[in-house]
């Protein structure tokens, strides 16, 4: 079973990013309400070509994350989920103000089907295993919690930067044809700076994301995320990679 004291550690990164999402939603809504009406101008050829691309990238990334979440919560076909990274593994870091950041290995290998979940994970040297059947309600819920707690912070970060991401060609992930999307805070343009400053959690000093969305199903099938984080207790870099492979 999941250790109760570990649950805040697994979820707190998502909580921080989620609070940023709520703040951004309120800010954008306020801007829309207060913005004065503007005259409609005919779109130039350049505007007509570039704007749909950005909108498509944003929509596909967010929809892809939703499809992956649904597949993990209600699996209909078998798949393998692989995750590895280096993250701050200090327990309850966001809530223990005297704790210091400590970066360690985080991994997960999960075989998921409609009837069974087999999960092995490592969080800062602590191993956790699940072998849950759908018929075992308690075991199934614990396995799902472990799986979704692992992937949620990454999906929330992808959702956060989706509006600034751009399409970066095609690729193949686990035999699946996919479109690649990228975002790099070091290349944010002056026109994008206001939006980036609004969505960026204050502790995050640099963010780089690559995400792959399957062309046929629209599901997010791979992600790489790099973050530079700093607060009053220290500074550290994190890197995570996740990949979903059909079986």
3 state SS for 5-59:
HHHHHHHHHHHHHHHHHHHHHHHHHHHHHHCCCCCCCCCCHHHHHHHHHHHHHHH
Give this prediction's pTM.
0.79
Asked whether residue 53 carries a pLDDT value surpassing 80, the answer given is no
Residue 211 lies in a domain: yes
Residue 36 lies in a domain: no
The pLDDT-based confidence of 125 (bands split at 50, 70, 90) is confident
Average pLDDT score over residue span 69-91: 95
Structure tokens at 68: 């992956």
Residue 186 lies in a domain: yes
Residues 6 or more apart in contact with residue 30 via CB below 8 angstroms: none
Q: How many other C-beta atoms are found inside a 10 Å radius of the C-beta of residue 238?
A: 18
> 181 pairs with which residues across the strands?
167, 211
Residue 37 lies in a domain: no
Residues 6 or more apart in contact with residue 49 via CB below 8 angstroms: none
Give the Å distances, CA to CA, from 127 to 3, 10, 111.
Answer: 11, 14, 17
pLDDT of residue 56: 84
Residue 181 lies in a domain: yes
**Structurally, how many domains does the chain consist of?**
1
Q: Closest by alpha carbon to 220, among 164, 156, 163, 132?
A: 156
Containing domain of residue 66, as a range? 4-29+43-246
Average pLDDT, the chain: 83
Q: Closest by alpha carbon to 204, among 153, 151, 150, 147?
A: 153
Asked whether residue 168 carries a pLDDT value surpassing 60, the answer given is yes
More confidently predicted of 28 and 188: 188
Residue 66 lies in a domain: yes
Residue 34 lies in a domain: no
pLDDT of residue 43: 35
pLDDT of residue 55: 52
């Amino acid at each position: 079973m999941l250790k109760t004291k570990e649950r805040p550690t697994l979820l707190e990164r998502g909580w921080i990013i989620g609070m940023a999402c709520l703040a951004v939603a309120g800010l954008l809504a306020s801007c829309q309400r207060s913005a004065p009406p503007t005259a409609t101008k005919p779109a130039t050829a350049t505007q007509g070509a570039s704007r749909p691309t950005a909108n498509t990238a944003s929509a596909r990334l967010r929809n892809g994350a939703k499809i992956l979440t649904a597949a993990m919560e209600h699996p209909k076909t078998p798949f393998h989920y692989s995750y590895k990274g280096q993250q701050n593994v200090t327990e309850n870091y966001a809530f223990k103000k005297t704790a210091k950041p400590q970066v360690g290995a985080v991994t997960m290998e999960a075989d998921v089907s409609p009837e069974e979940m087999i999960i092995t994970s490592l969080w800062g040297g602590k191993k956790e295993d699940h072998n849950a059947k759908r018929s075992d309600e308690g075991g199934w819920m614990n396995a799902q919690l472990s799986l979704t707690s692992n992937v949620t912070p990454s999906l929330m970060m992808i959702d956060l930067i989706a509006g600034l991401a751009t399409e970066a060609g095609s690729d193949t992930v686990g035999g699946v044809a996919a479109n690649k999307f990228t975002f790099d805070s070091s290349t944010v343009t002056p026109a994008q700076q206001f939006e980036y400053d609004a969505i960026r959690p204050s502790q995050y000093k640099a963010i780089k994301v690559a995400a792959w969305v399957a062309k046929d199903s629209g599901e997010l099938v791979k992600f790489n995320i790099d973050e530079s984080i700093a607060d009053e207790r220290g500074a550290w870099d994190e890197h995570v990679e996740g990949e979903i492979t059909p079986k």
